[in-house]
Amino acid sequence: MSNVGKLWKITGTATVLVLLAVGGWLFFRANKPVQQTGTSIQFAPTTAAEGQFARAEGLREFSFPLDHGPHPDFQTEWWYYTGNLQTVEGRRFGYELTFFRRALTPQPESADDGSDWRTSQVYLAHFALSDIETQDFHYQEKISRGAAGLAGSKGAPVYEVWLEDWSVREVGADRYALSANTEGYGLELELMDVKGSILQGNHGYSQKGVEAGNASYYTSQTRLESSGKLRIGEDTLNVSGLSWMDHEFSTSALSVGQVGWNWFAIQLDDGSELMLFTLQREDGSLDSFNAGTIIEKDGTTRTLGSADFKINVRETWRSPYSGAEYPAGWEITIPNEGIRLNINPLMPDQELNTFITYWEGAVEIQGDRSGVPVSGFGYVELTGYAESMQGKF
């Protein structure tokens, strides 16, 4: 009796198990998880290559357009294009198109007949558009090796820098074509340099720290008259305005304790420009290597030291993305020049959450110079608020 019961129990259980198995199989088949590639890598130890790069250790001769091109002996180099544009109806936009070059090693191992893809140069580019009317901030990042024609820069025969289909090319004397397109927005501009290349700092040598070599070579084109087409959504708009180009190369610009910088590019309606940068220290204190340049309408420049100007932060903005708190309104005074300027972002949210997290945004300027009211537009860059730039630049 008990035997019989047991047997049926076993048979019953076995049947249920088989049915469960079938059910399970069907279920898992239907709910097959999406392939996940949660891979992690353990690398062979590498030796720091920084020591083998050239360093910015003193004055050098600049020759343009060749020096608009790359300086691969240095580890880091960037080409920064920023600008404020508007349509005839007065709709305003800010844009940023930046190319970063970073060398992994001074020279890659490579045979002469080896692959064209072998390189130690990595290019990174950011393309951002601030739609002031809608307060929408768009940005995209691209990264590529600086090889196989995918990304690179040249000083000759003409200057050009590109990463895939984002590029700036010299198309004539002091004339450049800027082109960048991505999903939802794009820009095709012609830039006309009306002032020529400006050497920042001490004849283009910009000291950033007390150690020799903690410096960069820094040149700019501070007044690029810009016109062309801007695509946003379904619309293509005719725009014009002013752009600013910074070109900087170095091997280790930041010293110990420096985590980032604030950078101001101000284009005033009296035909002058002002560049200021302050270095962010870990402890929040003022760095003695803060500096600036005044570029007069005729192109003459005067260098400003850290004691020459004062920047008061009047407002702050906390990023909902990174959580970092950024300054969002400044009062700048340069007593010796009789300059007092109020600077306000055209919109608060201009943070890029990319390979590095930073704020780069269009600003408007109101103030006076020697008692005469001036106004203008410009760009401000704030780094080191969300993460330290130490080791990255």
Using CA atoms in the order 64, 68, 70, 75, what is the torsion angle rounded to 10 degrees? 110
Residue 265, classed as helix, strand or coil, is strand
Interface positions, 78-107, toward other proteins (CB under 8 A)? 102, 104-105
Q: Which of 9, 59, 110, 314 binds other proteins (CB under 8 A)?
A: 110
CB of 150 to other proteins, least distance (A): 6
Q: How many CA atoms, within 13 angstroms, populate the side-chain half-sphere of residue 124? A: 13
Q: Which of 2, 30, 31, 35 binds other proteins (CB under 8 A)?
A: 35
The answer to whether 38 contacts other proteins (rule: CB under 8 A) is: yes
Under 8 Å between Cβ of 369 and 268: yes
Using CA atoms in the order 253, 255, 256, 258, what is the torsion angle rounded to 10 degrees? -80
The answer to whether 31 contacts other proteins (rule: CB under 8 A) is: no
Cα–Cα dist 325/92, whole Å: 26
Binding mask 156-195 for other proteins (x = CB under 8 A): ------x-xx---------------xxx------------
Structure tokens at 169: 């090319």
Closest CA to 334 of 314, 355, 358, 307: 307
The answer to whether 320 contacts other proteins (rule: CB under 8 A) is: no
Under 8 Å between Cβ of 335 and 319: no
Q: Which is nearer to other proteins, 24 or 172 (CB)?
A: 24
H or E stretch covering 321: none
Interface positions, 111-130, toward other proteins (CB under 8 A)? 111, 113-120, 122
Cα–Cα dist 101/34, whole Å: 36
Length of the chain: 393
Binding mask 130-149 for other proteins (x = CB under 8 A): -------------xxx-xxx
The answer to whether 321 contacts other proteins (rule: CB under 8 A) is: no
The answer to whether 210 contacts other proteins (rule: CB under 8 A) is: no
CB of 90 to other proteins, least distance (A): 30
The distance in angstroms from the start CA to the end CA of the chain is 84
Would you tell me which residues interact with other proteins (CB under 8 A)?
A: 1, 3-4, 7-8, 11, 14-15, 18, 21-22, 25, 29, 35-46, 49, 102, 104-105, 108-111, 113-120, 122, 143-145, 147-150, 162, 164-165, 181-183, 354-355
